[in-house]
Structure 1
Amino acid sequence: MLEEFNVDQNTLVHAWQQQLPEFLDPGDSAKVLADESDPQGFRVHINAAGHQFYSFDFYCSYMDPREVKVELVDVEKDGQTVNEQNERLQEMTGDYVRHLHECAQALHRITNPS
């Protein structure tokens, strides 16, 4: 049975925007935006550090107060969509997914305060 998840989306987005940079590599930057169609969902745009000019878009949604589902939406290089099947991009994507899950763990104080 799913536990009730009742955290204001704006509070969630703000908390993620504050916390996420602590889990990213130096030089990476992220923007967290509310998802208009899902009150438990939000979008994360990460600009990778370095000269590759890669950016990653993820859709995240809470399954319950402790677990966030992370889906890769798009990878771009210089504003052009690229094939994320490339081994390096797979590795980077895996790292970012792990960082997003780590950030979700750190935000338990907001999502699961009991």
Structure 2
Amino acid sequence: MGGIVYGPYTGRYFDNDRETDIEHIVATSEGHDSGLCKATASTRIQFATDQLNLTLAAPEVNRCSNEGKCGLDASEWLPKKNLCWFANRVVQIKKICSKC
């Protein structure tokens, strides 16, 4: 994004990427609970490192707090901003994960 650091969950812009966390859109724990636990080690690594499943997030959103996602799935947590993007991305990731 031309050097602009943007957190899609909050719509916040950051001065640099050190102010953010890299966050799994579909948490690895959710992937595990949804059947990834039966997948090969290489498939689990692929899921955990797939760039489609990664985004930047403000630490207060990524970590466990009142506003935090904390490994919750889309039925338990939704972002304040960019809800359609988030829902679409979750579906894309889950489709890929179901083929694992």
Is TM-score (shorter-chain normalized) higher than 0.5?
A: no
TM bracket (short chain): 0.3 to 0.5
Comparing both structures, which one devotes a greater share of its residues to helix?
2
Relative to the length of structure 2, the TM-score reads 0.36
Comparing both structures, which one devotes a greater share of its residues to strand?
1
Relative to the length of structure 1, the TM-score reads 0.32
